Chain A
Amino acid sequence: EPEVTQTPSHQVTQMGQEVILRCVPISNHLYFYWYRQILGQKVEFLVSFYNNEISEKSEIFDDQFSVERPDGSNFTLKIRSTKLEDSAMYFCASRLSGASSYNEQFFGPGTRLTVL
Chain B
Amino acid sequence: AQSVTQLDSHVSVSEGTPVLLRCNYSSSYSPSLFWYVQHPNKGLQLLLKYTSAATLVKGINGFEAEFKKSETSFHLTKPSAHMSDAAEYFCVVSDTGGGADGLTFGKGTHLIIQP
List residues of chain A with CB under 8 Å of any chain B CB.
31, 33, 35, 41-50, 55-56, 58, 91, 98-101, 103-110
Q: How far is the CA of A55 from the CA of B46 in the complex (A)?
A: 23
Interface of chain B, helix or strand or loop or mixed? loop
In contact, A98 and B98 (Cβ under 8 angstroms): yes
Known A-B contacts A108-B43, A109-B43; A50 and B52 likewise in contact (beta carbons under 8 Å): no
Minimum CB distance partner of A49 in chain B: B100
User: Which residues of B are in contact with A by a Cβ distance under 8 Å?
Assistant: 32, 34, 36, 42-46, 49, 51-52, 90, 94, 96-108
Within the complex, which residue of B36, B43, B51 is in contact with A103, where a contact is CB–CB below 8 Å? Answer: B51
Contact status B99-A107, CB under 8 Å: no
B103 touches A45 (CB 8 A): yes
Main secondary structure of the interface of A (DSSP, over half): strand
Which residues of chain A are within 8 angstroms of B43 by Cβ–Cβ distance?
91, 107-110
- Which B-chain residue is minimally distant from A34 (CB atoms)? B102
Question: A56, B100: Cβ atoms under 8 Å?
Answer: yes
In chain B, what residue has the closest Cβ to A30? Answer: B100
Once A43-B90, A103-B32 are accepted as A-B contacts, the answer to whether A98 and B99 lie under 8 Å apart by CB is yes
CB distance from A41 to the nearest CB of B (A): 8
